Amino acid sequence: MEVARLEWTDVDYERSKVRILPEKGSNPRIAKLSGRAMQMLNKIPRNFPTIFIGRYKNTCDLRRSFEKQRRTMAAKMGNPRLMKTHFHTLRH
């Protein structure tokens, strides 16, 4: 849910950081984003206030999209280890 609830206003473009709002009683935190992650974020159209959920009806659709992209990338790159990356992995 933390990824799903991210809004464009949570991203600090100057410092390449994102503010993550707490979920299930955890503490809010700031995460550093790589240059590549920032490039990918910049390619996403800003049609919705949220970065991801606006494109999907719910978190199940978001998860399915992630899994489909993971399979595609694992096949294209010939790297079956990518299949060990799960949606929850993004949290860490």
The predicted-structure confidence for 31-75, as pLDDT tens digits, reads as follows 899 998 898 888 888 888 888 776 667 778 878 888 888 889 889
Beta bridge partners of 17: 12, 32
pLDDT at residue 11 is higher than 90:
yes
Q: What is the spatial distance between Cα 88 and Cα 92, in angstroms, rounded to a whole number?
A: 8
pLDDT for 19 equals: 92
Q: pTM for this structure?
A: 0.62
Annotate 10-54 with DSSP letters as a single string.
GEETTTTEEEE---TT---EEEE--HHHHHHHHHS---SSBSSGG
Reported as half-sphere exposure (CB side, CA atoms, 13 A), residue 64 has a value of 7
